[in-house]
Amino acid sequence: MTENRGRRPKIDEDRGVEDVTLLILEWLGEQGVNAMIRVDAARVADNAPAWTFAASGGPLEHGLRADGRTVQQCMSGALSKLRGAGLPVPF
């Protein structure tokens, strides 16, 4: 992954945050942040917010979590929380 360090892809404005989720995770890892996104099948079956993003470590003073019914909702919330915590996520 070190050969990708510093890569900043061009974002297609017609596509959503879900299209760059893996790039966001990669960037967070390069910043020393442990991060993951997951889907919970039981919550899908219950029609509950099934997507969860979690991050901790590195420059984050406290861990954070964001949930959503879709990947877009989840990652939009996650980006807002990351930026609020002082991480200038470039996506």
Domain extent listing, the chain: 2-84
DSSP state of 78: H
CA distance 60 to 68: 21
pTM of the full predicted structure? 0.80
pLDDT for the residue 8: 47
pLDDT for the residue 79: 96
CA of 11: how far to CAs of 3, 14, 38, 66, in Å?
20, 9, 23, 23
pLDDT for the residue 15: 56
pLDDT for the residue 83: 96
**Burial (Cβ within 10 Å: 0-12, 13-18, ≥19) of residue 5:** exposed
Mean pLDDT by runs of 10 across the 91 residues of the chain is 48 65 95 98 94 97 96 95 95 81
pLDDT for the residue 62: 95
